[in-house]
Structures are given as C-alpha cells and as structure tokens.
Amino acid sequence: MAESFIRFDKVTKDYGTVRVVEDLDLDIARGEFVSLLGPSGSGKTTLLMMLAGFETVTKGAIILDGQRLNGVPTYKRDMGVVFQNYALFPHMNIARNVAFPLEMRGTAKSDIAARVKRALDMVQLGHLSDRMPGQLSGGQQQRVALARSLVFEPRVVLMDEPLGALDKQLREQMQLDIRELHHRLGLTIIFVTHDQDEALTMSDRIAVFDKGQIQQCATPRQVYDHPANRFVAEFIGETNLLPGKVTGVDGSKIALTMPDGSVLRADGATGLAVGDAALLSLRPERIDLHGPNDAPAGLNSLRGEVADTIYQGDHLRIVVTTPAGRIIARVPRKAAEWPNGASVALGFRPADGWIIAP
C-alpha cells in the first residue's frame, strides 16, 4: 500500500467498563476509499467518530498526514462528514445549506457563490440551488449533504451509513455516483456500512469489524474469495461452510477429507497442518450441478439429493442435501431444473473453494 495518510495506532475506546474498540491498527492511503463493514455494535461507527473528533480516544493515537489528532477539536480536523439523516437545515435553501461550512470558516463572500456552484455541479444539482430541502427527494437531499461535505475541499470525507434511508434502486444509483465522484476527484473516503453489497461495490479496501476489532482488511475480491476466518466468510455474501479434516498440505494447496471419506481439494489459509479440523468455504455461485455420474474430470465432486429449488428472477437457488451437510447452489435461470429428490453431483474447481480454520 502507498504511504499512510491516516493511521490508527493501537486505538482503544471504552465507555465506562464496556470496550467498544480494542487495540486497533489501520493504515489508509491518500485517495483511498475504505469501507468499515460490520454488524451493529462492532465498533465501526465509533472509530469514524473518533477520527472526526466527536469521540475521544481512550488509548492509542490517530494520525492524519503526520499530525497527531488526539485533542485536536473537530473544526480543526478539516474533514467533511455525511450522515444517514442528511442533517440539512430545513429553513435554508440548497445553496445556503451548502454555503454554511464556508460561512463558518470565514470564507470571503466573493468566493462562496462560485464554490457553492462548483460543489452542486459536482453532484448534478446546480439547477436546484433555490429549492428548499423539503422540495427534494431523499436521493437529492443526500446529494446536497455530499456537496456540503465537499464544498470546503476537506482532506478527508467521512460517511456514516449515508445511504441507509434510501430505497434499493436509489441506493444502488448513489453507490455508483459516489464511486464515480471518488475516482474523479481523488478523494480520501472512509465509509461506514453494514451492507456487504455496498462495501463490495464501492471500496478499494474493506475493513471487516467484529467485537471492536478488524477481522480482515483487504480488497473486495480478497475478502470475498479468501476470507481470513469464519466470521468474514459468513458475513461477506453467502457461503457454504463444510467441516472436514486436513489430510494434505502442499503450500497453499490443501486436501480436506469430509466425514463420508470423500476428499476435496482447494486453496487455503496459511497455518493449517495435517490433522487440523478445518472448514471449506464454498460460494453458491461457484458450484455446477451435474448428473450423479457426469461431473467433469478435474472438479471436486460431492453427491447429494435436491431438497428444494427457489426461483429468484435471474437465478435459481438449489438446496442439496449431502453427507457433508446442506449445500446451496446458485445457478443461472436457464440451467436445467432438477426435481426434488433428484440425485445430483455438485462440482467445483479447487480454485473456487477456500479452506479456513474452524
């Protein structure tokens, strides 16, 4: 990674006797889009609030561009913040809302109008500058909040669940809009979300949180294809977890023997040894279904019986009962449909599975 622009160094946050963030290290490069992803109460928003200066650090240090931020007031941190509830002033029109941070910073009046126009044009709302917030849709109000966070050209933009209140179609459009804006302006963005698809769509890297600690921080592809542990595998997308025992290790290539004696081969995490219990993480879309004797050579194969088929528009979810447990396969809608009770073979390439510690 490029030289650190933001550094969390052994950061801990306590509320009385409750530890919310524990001994956390994280480095973020200038211009990077990092999502803090995790369930409610995992510490991600608390970390963002400490970076913004709304919460104090119990132990450790937060460093921005070489400057230690502990004790620096919020207004001196030069960060734009976007919240889920927009936080627009209902009695001010859009232009005045966006101008507010500049006015508070004592920007010359002669500069404010031009900077407000530029910020609103960035989010394609320049033509609505005279409207009141109540006259805008939810997506438009969120764009105004984003323009307000950018108008004073902050060093960092912090976003706390900014799309959570929008409907699915609008949320997906805003994800693409923010992603495009990030690429075009080279912004450094820290984005808090509990939505896995949102993090996968927008991020350069994802920091997956659980119980106040980062379980894995890597690119979207890495956390999806090569989860560090069971929590990450289950939290990011959907996966099948099949228990077995390691019976062969050749570098990253691992052989896993299942309870029925069948052997599956896949790449795996380092540190596993022969005799260890382990889990095979197998994404539903990586599985092909074949007749019980038709699985192509070179594939891992598990035999089972179709228990259910669920139609989901662009794909089918097929539930298969196997000796290794219930497995869900996601196949294209045009794929052959298997009746309940049909015997099938589930095939997948070794590169499409990932073996982790239990």
Q: Pick from 297, 302, 334: which is nearest to 320 by CA?
A: 302
SS3 32: coil
pTM over the 0.75 mark:
yes
pLDDT tens digits for the chain (358 residues)?
A: 568 999 999 999 999 999 999 999 999 999 999 999 999 999 999 999 999 999 999 999 999 999 999 999 998 998 999 887 778 999 999 999 999 999 988 899 889 999 999 999 888 899 999 999 999 988 889 889 889 988 888 989 999 988 887 788 888 888 888 898 899 889 999 999 999 999 999 999 999 999 999 999 999 999 999 999 999 999 999 999 999 999 999 988 999 999 889 999 999 988 999 999 999 999 999 999 998 888 778 889 999 999 999 998 889 999 999 998 999 999 988 777 789 999 999 999 999 999 999 9
Residue 197 and residue 168: Cα distance in Å, rounded?
A: 11
Listed residue (309, 356, 300, 357) closest to 333, CA to CA: 309
Q: What is the pLDDT of residue 2?
A: 62
Q: Which domains does the chain have, with CATH numbers?
A: 4-233 (3.40.50.300), 238-356 (2.40.50.100)
pLDDT of residue 171: 84
Per-residue model confidence (pLDDT) at position 298: 82
pLDDT for res 124:
86
User: What digits encode the pLDDT tens for the residues 303-326?
Assistant: 999 999 999 888 999 999 999 899
Half-sphere exposure of 318 (CA within 13 A, CB side): 30
CA 144 to CA 28: how far, in whole Å? Answer: 26
Cα 107 to Cα 115: distance, rounded to the nearest angstrom: 10
Query: What local confidence, expressed as pLDDT, does residue 167 receive?
Result: 83
Q: What is the pLDDT of residue 178?
A: 87
Local structure of 59: helix, strand or coil: strand
